[in-house]
Each structure stands twice: as C-alpha cells, then as structure tokens.
Amino acid sequence: MTQTIELLDLLMTEIQDCRICEDHLQPNPVLRLSTSARLLVIGQAPGTRVHATGIPWNDPSGVRLRSWLGMDDEVFYDTSKVAIMPMGYCYPGKGKSGDLPPRRECREAWHDRALQLMPEIKTTLLIGQYAQNAYLPTPGKSLSDNVRNWKQWFPHLIPLPHPSPRNTLWLKQRPWFEDEVVPAVREFVHELLHPGSSRDIP
C-alpha cells in the first residue's frame, strides 16, 4: 500500500503540472484522488467558482449533490473516504449556452492510471451524461434512461443527473428521482462509508 500511495502522489504531481490543453484553457486541475477511498465521484468539469477556489463541487451544484447524498462537507471532502475525479480536470471555458464540454484529453491521459491506483473504490457515482457515456457499459438512449434504470449497474456504478441549478426543470418533471432514487442512494452511500453504523440517515 505504501508503494501505491507513493505512486499516486507522483501521479498527482504529474497531473498538477499537466499542460496538455494550455492552448485551449487555463490549466488548473481540480481533483481529489485517494488509495483508501471507497466512493468515487466522476462529474463533468470544474465551473468558474471551482476553478477559482481549487475546491471541487464548491458551488450550488455541490450543495445539491451533498444534499442528495445526505453528506456534510467534512465527509464529502475527506479523501480517505471520497475521491473526486471529473471527466475534465480543468475549467473548459464558456460556450454559447453555458460551460463548454469537458475536454477528452484528461480521460485519455490520466483516468486509467488514476483508477489503477485507487484499489478500494467500491462504487462510482457517474454524474451527468458525459460521465455516463464514458463509463456505463451499456448506456441508455438518454440521461433519464440511465438514471431511471440505475439498479442495472448497481452497486459498482450509479448514474445520477447533474445537480446544476440549470437542471431544476428536469428534476421537477421527474419527481420519481428525488422520491425514489435519492433516498435509496443516500442510504447505500452512508452504509458504504460508515459500515455498521446505527446513526440515522440524514
């Protein structure tokens, strides 16, 4: 395990020094990797606030995600329990209707190497269409299909919608997500990170 920790530290140094995309964006990789984490969160890419602070999910999307998971900041940012690795590590820039999609270079250069050094991951949350298209073995035709059929890949992979405020209408139109999926995922994640705990689920 000591060797794995050292290798992961070296990998993180490489990632922080990465300049593969510097012709397209301002490099500032934001991620949290861990050799002991049991839960991995794969989202899209940092937004402007996350880019500025260097803290993943440090925005309204993160607040909603932690609410879904019944998880406070202390647990969410405890890298011994939770690893955070977006599809794109750096803020991709602004497009015509929001942030640009995550660039492909991160997954191609870093994802496989990072996953090999996180042997304790039991469950991966795939947040949004980009993560689901990349990691679901047989993704549905739409994000709604993926999320509605989440048990198909459970417990190793759990597809979730992106918690961005932009998706508030999507959530309102699909009350089954917060009524049925969220409580089940919340309970499972709590037990995953606190096995045998008798504390009530938040």
Question: What CATH number has the domain bearing residue 164?
Answer: 3.40.470.10
Residue 63 has pLDDT above 60, yes or no: yes
Does 82 map to a domain?
Answer: yes
> Is the per-residue pLDDT at 199 higher than 70?
no
Domain assignment present for 198: no
| Structural domain includes residue 138 | yes
Q: Is residue 128 part of a domain?
A: yes
107 domain residue, yes or no? yes
pLDDT attached to residue 95: 84
Q: What is the mean pLDDT of the chain?
A: 95
Q: What is the pLDDT of residue 2?
A: 86
Mean pLDDT, rounded, for 164-189: 97
User: What is the pLDDT at residue 31?
Assistant: 98
Res 175 pLDDT > 90:
yes
Q: Are 60 and 166 in contact (CB under 8 A)?
A: no
Q: Could you tell me the residue range of the domain that residue 120 belongs to?
A: 2-193
Q: pLDDT digits over 124-164, tens only? A: 999 999 999 999 999 989 999 999 999 999 999 999 999 99
Spell out a b/e string for 164-180, using b for 16 or more CB atoms within 10 Å of the CB, else e.
beebeeeeeebeebeee
Q: Name 8's Cβ contacts closer than 8 Å, sequence gap at least 6.
A: 33, 34, 35, 114, 117, 118
Is 178 a residue whose pLDDT tops 60?
A: yes
Give the 3-state secondary structure of residue 179.
helix
Residue 88 CB-half CA count within 13 A: 26
Looking at residue 112, its amino acid is D
- Does 113 reside within a domain? yes
Dump pLDDT digits (tens) for 88-126.
Answer: 999 999 988 788 999 999 999 999 999 999 999 999 999
CA 175 → CA 126, 128, 154, 169, distances in Å?
Answer: 20, 17, 21, 10
Overall number of domains in the chain:
1
Cis peptide before 155 (omega within 30 of 0): yes
Asked if residue 202 is part of any domain, the answer here is no
Q: What is the reported pLDDT for 202?
A: 38
Note whether residue 90 is domain-resident: yes
CA-wise closest residue to 75 among 201, 161, 181, 184:
201
Integer-rounded Cα Rg, in Å, for the chain is: 16
